[in-house]
Structures are given as C-alpha cells and as structure tokens.
Amino acid sequence: MASVKVSRAGPLIVAGRYSKWSRVLPQTPWFIDGERKLDSSVEELISARITPVFGSSTTFTFVSSGREDIDVRCLGLGRPFALELSDYNRTLSSMLRSQVDQCGDRVTDGNVISDRANDLSWLADIVVSAASSKASLKDGDVEKRKRYRALCWCPQGGLTPEKIRLLDTRLRELAKQSTNSEGSQSNLQWPPREATFEADLGAEVAYLTFGRFTIEQLTPIRVLHRRALIARKRDIIWFRLSDFTSNVLRKDAPFVLREFASQASVYPKEELFLLELCCEAGTYVKELVHGDLGRTQPSLSSLIDCPLDLIALDVIAVEQDWPPRIENTLVKIEI
C-alpha cells in the first residue's frame, strides 16, 4: 500500500520576543560572497527549538520587528518575532499530551514549545495563532519607537561642562525651528548629580536629559553596499547622558552595565560616557553619535564640535504591543 503524508494546509504563526546577550551572533545566517562567517544565528536558535515539535517536515519563514547588528545586544522585554510554519503535521494538543505522558501531570504549555534556547538567546511571550496575525508585526513597524543604551567615547578629554552647555545651546537653536521640541535640561552640571531610580537597571542613575529634535541621515557608508542611497528624516524623542565612572565602575553597578567596565582598560575612563535615547524606528544610532563623515546631520558629534565614537550598543526596548505580554507563563494558545 502506498504511504500517505498528512500535513496542515494553512500556515501557522508562532510569535514571541527574543533577547540576545551575545555580541557575536547575527539575527539571520551571515554569508559574504557565498561563505558563511559565523556558526549560528538568532533565527536558527529559535527555529531549532520550535519547528521540531511540529513535525520533521515543518518548514518556516522568520520575520522580526526590525533587526540589530551582530555586535548589538537586545535586552529588556526583547524583540518581537514570528515564525510562519508550513507543512507541519502535529497539533499543540497532541504535543501537550505527549509531554504529559513523558513528564507527568506537572507539565505546562510552556514545556511544549518555549524554553531557554541557550546562553545567547532567550524566548518569551510565545503565542500560537493564525497566519493573518503576522500583519500585526508589520503594522507596528511604521509607528514603533526604540530605546537604546550605548557606551560612547569622547577622545578630546571627555565631556565637560563647556561641551554640555554648547550641546544645550544648539539644541535650543534647533528647537526654535521645530514645533516638536520638548525643551532642554535646565540643570547642566557635569557629571550630573541628581539621581533617579531606573527600573530596568534596578539602581539609581544620575542623568542629564534633553528633548526632541530631528535628524537627516543619508544611507550609512557601512550599509551602502546593500541599501539604496536615500535621505531619511528621523525623530530623536529624547536622549540623556550619564557618567561612566560613577555608574559602571561602582561596586554595585547594574548587571547590564558591568560588561562595559572592561573598556576602562582600553580607553581613558574619564573620556567614556553613557548615552540612552528613545528614537523613531529606522534611526541609525551609531551614525547619530559619530556623524558618519557628515552624512548624519546633526549628529551628537557635530552638536558639541568634538569627535565621538560609539563603543558598544544595546537595544533596551522595542515599543510594540504585539505579541501581547503574557504574565506568569511562556505560552498562550490562540487557536
């Protein structure tokens, strides 16, 4: 008798959020001139965890709400992603029954599909839904904001009160040209002294905060080989500056900042500072800092008349409501 292969006709979406703690892990497989450069990727780590439980014949397409560079960590709640599955031949109910048979009554939906992928990537807020829900991921790309934290270097003696005052003056000049300005910080002490508790760091941090302004970015030189040469206007909603030594080198430094401490052996510690910002999706943050040879205007470097460079960058929030946050569980079934 001929064999019969049974699969599902309609595609299925497995969506969630991933966090990436490695600075040597691309989001998708990385090839240059047909040669693979690194052994793994976020896409492969996630799909290796999820697709096998739907059957060996399962195929997938990976999409995400934006992407981070290889050397950028993705922290906080993580970046929304979706796997569109096809040719799967197992249902979630059958997988759950199998897990109960193997592990006993204490098994939960979370054991079926979501877990720690490895030391490099974590999964959360796993949702299984119809293929039409993928539109929610793309709809959010247009209006979403992102928050970043960066370790930066000011090689000409570091930030000073004079440079901070110049920055403030020029931002005020930009504000006169825009109806979107939220004003500038009135207390311009550097290093800043008035600390506030930051929930994502679990610690008090002293910042200088500055309001909204708009930049124009030509396609950066580093991606010009694969992106069209166009000019993009992007809004910087707010940004704030904090001192490196008092935040990173202190004994009780927040966990996510401790990695930066090693840079004090490479750069003079008084020339390092922390930048945190909230900006429109599609902003090239590295170029916002150093200016990309004048291709980003204004840049932080041009605003203080001093060379700047970005040493390390973290995504700390992708402000998108889909998939929905799930409390006290890793999986929610929506079929």
- Residue boundaries of the structural domains of the chain: 12-141+320-333, 145-318
Q: Is the pLDDT of residue 170 over 90?
A: yes
Partners of 233 in beta bridges: 216
Helical H runs in the chain? 42-50, 92-103, 109-113, 134-143, 161-176, 244-248, 285-290, 300-304
User: Considering only CA atoms, which of 81, 84, 86 is closest in space to residue 28?
Assistant: 81
Please measure the distance between the N-terminal and C-terminal CA atoms of the chain and give it in whole angstroms.
Answer: 34
Strands 296-297 and 72-86: unpaired
Please give the model's pTM, rounded to 2 decimal places: 0.84
- Cα 137 → chain centroid: 15
List 69, 115, 141, 200, catalytic entry: 69
Range with the lowest mean pLDDT among 18-32, 137-151, 210-224, 242-256?
137-151
- CATH architecture of the domain with range 145-318: 2-Layer Sandwich (3.30)
| Active-site residue, 69 included | yes
Q: Are 12-141+320-333 and 145-318 equal in CATH topology?
A: yes
pLDDT at 132: 66
Q: Tell me the fold of 12-141+320-333.
A: Alpha-Beta Plaits (3.30.70)
119: number of Cβ within 10 Å: 8
Query: Which has more confidence, 291 or 21?
Result: 291
- Whether 240 contacts 207, CB under 8 Å: yes
pLDDT at 114: 44
Q: Is the pLDDT of residue 224 over 80?
A: yes
pLDDT at 327: 65
Omega of the bond prior to 80 within 30 degrees of 0, cis? no
Helical H runs in 104-197? 109-113, 134-143, 161-176
290: number of Cβ within 10 Å: 18
- Cα 234 → chain centroid: 17
- Whether 110 contacts 326, CB under 8 Å: no
Amino acid at 176: K
Amino acid at 14: V
Q: Is the pLDDT of residue 217 over 90?
A: yes
Q: CA separation (Å) from 333 to 25, 92, 277, 324? A: 30, 8, 35, 12
Q: Is the pLDDT of residue 181 over 60?
A: no
User: Considering only CA atoms, which of 270, 177, 284 is closest in space to residue 220?
Assistant: 284
